[in-house]
Amino acid sequence: MLTGEVSKPWVTDKDFYERLSYWVTYAVAMLGIVGAVLRVYFQWVQTPRIGNLCLVMDDNFDTFDTQYTWTQEVDMSGFGNGEFEMATNSPNNSFVQDGKLYLVPTLTSDVIGKQAVLDGFTYNITGCTAVNSTTGCGAVSNLTAGTVINPVMSARISTKHSHNIQYGKVEVVAKLPRGDWIWPSIWMLPVDERYGPWPASGEIDIMQARGNGPEYPAQGVDYVRGSLNWGPFTWLNGVSRTFGWWTNRRQTFADKFHTFAVEWSPEFIRIYADSRLTYSLYLKFDEPFFERGDFPPVVQNGTDFIATPNPWKDGTKNVAPFDIPFYLIMNVAVGGTNGWFPDGAGDKPWLDHSLTAMRDFAEAQEQWYETWPKNIADRAMVVDSVKMWQRC
């Protein structure tokens, strides 16, 4: 047994280098925190703003106002993208419940039967609003001809006849749908085609996504995309120079509500999800769009070769065609042949250039419908609110 006082030199004799390493570690950590805070602060204060805003629309969906606010499009034409759904005004596809708007894709076969979708049936949509009634208001399924009735019913609504802005801000709080080949969109078109038919007068895509899962190789529901469409012809579109995306790394955009927004001024346009700092597209209007497009000087128009026309020569310098009023559209499409769902990615059951693309998709219904949630709240684009401001 030991007696007397035990020597403990480490209590009284502090090691200088040990103490130094202690303080250096904490000093470096503090400098990192301070640096991160300063970076975020200056990034925020230096982010351009659009100026004073005046609220022109605020819909929290206590009701579904289809008389004064929203126009329901009823159309089977595919909307220029070869989409496989028909847009309806049915309460099965668009309705308000518990203060939220639901835009829901459903099966046409649930209404007319699968055999009718594929062969021997003529379907005329009720309340058709299509510009071309021949291609947009009806369809015939014929096995020999390879035609089918659009295999999905869905919804497309807009503020075309109620609200529009020329510079300002749009903010939509929404949760996106799940399911293979579902294509939700929040976007804007010009009130009038001042510079010519699409895309000459522009298109603003605030949010586009794909309902396919995160494993989908062409960006699934954990990605959202923002873009601008513009060009002298449908086949000469500068969108490849004005698009971008944002990804949610920890969860998908179908897991909870997110804010999708555009801020638009004569100086710039910013498209983002949730925060100005998490933008999918930020574009300064610092050069004319005709120059930005770097279009070929000569193009073929029918059998003739012509100088590539500049549709925006009489518009606002550097801003046209995005210097005119635009209205808001929200829709849930399904499939299509415009390349949004690339061929060969994710067991896609059709080819874009196939003459029977919609039939091929319809015949694969058991394959893709299995991925669609049976719970409507997960299959729908659910919108909590829409706000629109005009720059004052």
Q: Using one digit for the tens of pLDDT, what is the confidence trace for 164-217?
A: 999 999 999 999 999 999 999 999 999 999 999 999 999 999 999 999 999 999
pTM here? Answer: 0.89
Domain coordinates of the chain in residue numbers?
A: 11-41, 52-391
3-state SS record for the chain = CCCCCCCCHHHHCCCHHHHHHHHHHHHHHHHHHHHHHHHHHHHHHCCCCCCCEEEEEEECCCCCCCCCCCEECCECCCCCCCCCEEECCCCCCEEEECCEEEECCEECHHHHCHHHHHCCEEEECCCCCCCCHHHHCEEEEECCCCECCCCEEECEEECCCCCEECCEEEEEEEECCCCCCEEEEEEEEECCCCCCCCCCCCEEEEEECCCCCCCCCCCCCCEEEEEEECCCECCECHHHHCEEEEECCCCCCCCCCEEEEEEECCCEEEEEECCCCCEEEEEECCCCHHHHHCCCCEEEECCEEEECCCCCCCCCCCCCCCCCCEEEEEEEEECCCCCCCCCCCCCCCCCCCCCCHHHHHHHCHHHHHCCCCCCHHHHCEEEEEEEEEEEC
- pLDDT tens for the chain, residues 1 to 392: 555 666 666 555 566 666 777 777 878 888 878 776 766 665 555 566 788 999 999 999 999 999 999 999 999 999 999 999 999 999 999 999 999 999 999 999 999 999 999 999 999 999 999 999 888 999 999 999 999 999 999 999 999 999 999 999 999 999 999 999 999 999 999 999 999 999 999 999 999 999 999 999 999 999 999 999 999 999 999 999 999 999 988 899 999 999 999 999 999 999 999 999 999 999 999 999 999 999 999 998 788 899 999 999 999 999 999 999 999 999 999 999 999 999 999 999 999 999 999 999 999 999 999 999 999 999 999 999 999 999 99
CATH architecture of 52-391: Sandwich (2.60)
Query: What is the reported pLDDT for 21?
Result: 76
